[in-house]
Structure 1
Amino acid sequence: MKFGVSYSTPYQGVDPDKIVAFARNAEECGFESLYLPEHIVLYPGAAVGPYELPPTLPYLDPLDCLSFVAAATERILLGTGVLLLPYHHPVILAKRLATVDVLSKGRMRLLTTGLGALPGEARAVGVEYATRGRRADEAIDVLRLLWAGGEDGVSFAGEFFSFENLVSFPKPHQAVQLPVHIGGSSRAAARRAGRRGDGYFPGGALDARERAVQWELARSSAAEVGRDPDALEYTRMGSIDMPVERVEELAAQGVTRIVVSTAATEPEEQREELTAFAKRFGLPQ
């Protein structure tokens, strides 16, 4: 089992010293990865289900923040949970992701993408909300095409993106592709994970049965298009105080990575929570 941590700037703050302290503490405690969330803009009345989001929540740009973290750490992998893929142009995004990966010496390896749940956020960036799923599918194809393309260039003609003979360098650090994990809490997201993703990171308040259905759907969707379902990674959220028995239950369900977050907001208290978790599960120091 791999263990990651998430840092939520809306609730844990945007103080650069505290962000660096958190990342270094997580790395020293042996956590594999650090995840950051994304919202590009908020607005009064924005809500995810029954939960209204205060419009002043401070969401840092996750890729800029991860680049900052990479400069202050050495080993911890960098992830998003989630990056709102339909709201990014994939030609620009391919360059940004490769840049972070090169500068971090190959640590931008846990990109997790989602569709977004705020119609007003889609409108703000000129994206039709109803088409964001198809747009995300196409964007994944474009990212991989550009990363794999050579000096002669690559071309693409789709519903949302089209170009001819584009050359995008630098490439990811010592890799042809960067992994693209799929986040979400729907069966459509599970199918996308199987058909296009390198892993599935389901969120939402799903019951155990629905989570099992979605994971099996991701695996069967991979098999349907000739992909190896056993190659899919399965990431789930967990709690910082979770017992060993709960991790064993998740492992039996096929989970390969658990991401936790701290309740504390001050570095010393965060370190205590991370250290206790690391000792409980024997993370490598």
Structure 2
Amino acid sequence: MTTASTTTRRGTKVRIGVGLGTATTAVSGPGFGPLVDRLEALRFDSLWLSERISGPAPDPLVALAVAAGRTERLKLGTSVLVVPGRNPVLLAKEMASLDVLSQGRFLPAVGLGAVDPVEQQAFGVRREERGRRLDEALELMRRLWSGEPVDHQGDFYEVQGVRVLPRPHQDTLDVWLGGIAPSELRRVGRIGDGWLPSFCTPEDVIEGIAVIEEAATAAGRTSDPEHYGVLLAYCDGPVPPRIAELVARRRPGLDPRRVVPDFSQLSGLVNDFIAAGATKFVAMPLGDADDWDAELGRLADALLPLET
């Protein structure tokens, strides 16, 4: 988000990245390095790693640091990193460090964490506090990224004269948020720099952008037309039962195939999202591919021609 007076969606850049999801095991073995190398060679825009304490996926910041050391152009995103329950001063230092070491390729997307008792217990934050903690933590982190000493006394965090160095490599470290609930959309407008929802339809994107822009205007901000994205899970064949159940809980009455397309439907759905106003995409296969080299190759053939 910016404080500019006008926005336009004409001439925006479409970019395609790849996400590995919370259930991936691809990062835990020797295959992660070649996977990262392949993404770089195929010229995908970005790699996105998700967080789940109780799942097999590794810590996103640690794994992205490994990816940063193997690449020169691939951007590195979190989708999403859980903020409530973390020390925002230490997190600001970690994020700034990753951005510096990657020469400005870090793309943080953050959120509240899964609505799951085990995950919430792991982060040690009561569910009703998560939203306010995220708001305050993000405000504090942005002040710390200035590189100047910061005094802050809030409801959850208090620091006096704390200075975080190095500053991020990027002049502005944009922080994206997820979610499609009305409160989550308004938060994007109020404090977010971009929007990266999952399990959504093109119609959701149209409606969500309207809510975000209304909230941004009320907060004296405007939205960047290139900062609307979609995390798009896909699969071959029927939607796995566990995913169908998840969609049923989140989106009662919605056909799971609307938000989890078959691979053959992927490029057409991305075009529909582009028409709805989204320009940044994270394609995420459900489950680890048997052959990542082949999977990334077919994704590149299907989606990279859509970039502009």
Task: State the SS of the aligned residue for 1:134.
Answer: helix
Distance 2:219 2:231 in 1: 28
Distance 2:22 2:85 in 1: 20
Q: 1:256 aligns with which of 279, 283, 288?
A: 279
Distance 1:249 1:208 in 2: 6
Task: State the SS of the aligned residue for 1:74.
Answer: coil
- Kindly tell me: are residues 93 and 159 of structure 1, through their superposed partners in 2, closer, same or farther at Cα, counting changes over 3 Å? same
Contact 1:180 1:197 survives alignment (8 Å): yes
Partner AA of 2:123 in structure 1: V
Contact 1:234 1:255 survives alignment (8 Å): yes
List runs of 5+ in structure 2 lacking aligned partners: 1-13, 235-262
Q: Does 1:184 align with 2:182?
A: no
Aligned length: 263
Distance 1:208 1:9 in 2: 24
Show the counterpart of 2:36: 23
- Kindly tell me: are residues 208 and 248 of structure 1, through their superposed partners in 2, closer, same or farther at Cα, counting changes over 3 Å? closer
Contact 2:28 2:57 survives alignment (8 Å): no
Show the counterpart of 2:214: 220
Contact 2:202 2:273 survives alignment (8 Å): no
Task: State the SS of the aligned residue for 1:155.
Answer: strand
- Kindly tell me: are residues 207 and 113 of structure 1, through their superposed partners in 2, closer, same or farther at Cα, counting changes over 3 Å? same
Partner AA of 1:156 in structure 2: H
How big is the shift at 1:211?
4.1
Distance 2:64 2:77 in 1: 8
Q: 2:98 aligns with which of 77, 82, 100?
A: 100
Q: When the two structures are superposed, what TM-score results if normalisation uses the length of structure 2?
A: 0.78
Distance 1:264 1:134 in 2: 33
Show the counterpart of 1:7: 20
Q: 1:161 aligns with which of 154, 157, 160?
A: 157
Contact 1:123 1:129 survives alignment (8 Å): no
Q: Deviation digits for residues 73-117 of structure 1, max 9, x if unmatched?
A: 221101111111112111000000111111111111x21111111
Q: 1:134 aligns with which of 107, 132, 135?
A: 132
How big is the shift at 1:208?
5.0
- Kindly tell me: are residues 120 and 221 of structure 1, through their superposed partners in 2, closer, same or farther at Cα, counting changes over 3 Å? same
Q: Deviation digits for residues 172-196 of structure 1, max 9, x if unmatched?
A: 11x3331100012311111111111
Partner AA of 1:196 in structure 2: I
Q: Percent of pairs identical after alignment? A: 34
RMSD (CA atoms): 2.2
Q: When the two structures are superposed, what TM-score results if normalisation uses the length of structure 1?
A: 0.84
Task: State the SS of the aligned residue for 2:195.
Answer: strand
Distance 2:117 2:206 in 1: 29
- Kindly tell me: are residues 266 and 244 of structure 1, through their superposed partners in 2, closer, same or farther at Cα, counting changes over 3 Å? closer
Q: Does 1:194 align with 2:189?
A: yes
- Where does structure 1 differ by over 6 angstroms across 4 or more consecutive aligned residues? none
Distance 2:274 2:188 in 1: 19
Distance 1:102 1:157 in 2: 28
Show the counterpart of 1:35: 48
Q: Does 1:274 align with 2:269?
A: no
Q: Which of 1 and 2 has higher RCO (CA within 8 Å, sep 6+)?
A: 2
Distance 1:248 1:209 in 2: 13
